[in-house]
């Protein structure tokens, strides 16, 4: 299987949170509302005075037979004594192209045509999807984190 991965977007911010557990749970629920999501990691820990959370979720949007947009969301919360609780939110977007292991001149022509003519169009579609997801994420963050970002 031939695979091409292209980074489209990376975004990260730290926020102060009243409750890292609640904020991470709300973030997880928000990400699952965006579409076909797969939870990679969801950890809530406490070690006496220190509390932490990690949530990593990937949302996949199939664009065509060969292309997928993968939105990798992450939230990492930390709460320590004498420090304000914080949650770091991250989004990484990647365009993934996959081609089967077929061989021959017809297949090689197809891949060359796809990469030169279809990839730019698929990339435009993916970038619009990323913009829409970022707008939804920004709206969620405004509602979730009433305190200013750090």
pLDDT in tens, 89-138: 999 999 999 998 877 888 889 988 999 999 999 999 999 999 999 999 99
Cβ atoms 86, 77 nearer than 8 A: yes
What average pLDDT does the chain have?
92
Cα–Cα distance for residue pair 87/145, rounded to 1 Å:
9
Range of the domain at 95: 2-144
Cα–Cα distance for residue pair 59/39, rounded to 1 Å:
9
Mean predicted confidence (pLDDT) in 68-81:
96
Number of domains in the chain: 1
Residue 24 buriedness (CB in 10 A; 0-12 / 13-18 / 19+): buried
Q: What is the pTM of this model?
A: 0.89
Residue 125 inside a domain? The answer is yes
CA of residue 76 relative to chain centroid, distance? 13
Cα–Cα distance for residue pair 3/19, rounded to 1 Å:
41
- Give Rg (Cα) of the chain: 19
Cβ atoms 50, 77 nearer than 8 A: no
Q: What does the pLDDT read at residue 148?
A: 53
Residue 18 inside a domain? The answer is yes
Residue 149 inside a domain? The answer is no
């Amino acid at each position: 299987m031939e695979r091409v991965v292209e980074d489209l977007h990376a975004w990260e911010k730290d926020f102060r949170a009243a409750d890292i557990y609640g904020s991470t749970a709300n973030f997880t629920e928000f990400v699952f509302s965006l579409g076909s999501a797969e939870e990679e990691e969801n950890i809530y820990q406490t070690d006496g005075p220190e509390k932490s959370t990690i949530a990593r979720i990937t949302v996949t949007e199939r664009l065509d037979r060969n292309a997928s947009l993968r939105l990798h969301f992450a939230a990492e919360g930390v709460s320590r004594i004498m420090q304000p609780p914080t949650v770091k939110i991250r989004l990484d977007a990647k365009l993934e192209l996959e081609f089967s292991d077929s061989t021959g001149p017809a297949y090689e022509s197809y891949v060359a045509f796809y990469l030169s003519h279809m990839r730019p169009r698929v990339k435009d579609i993916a970038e619009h999807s990323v913009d829409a997801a970022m707008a939804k994420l920004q709206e969620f963050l405004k509602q979730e984190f009433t305190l200013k970002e750090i």
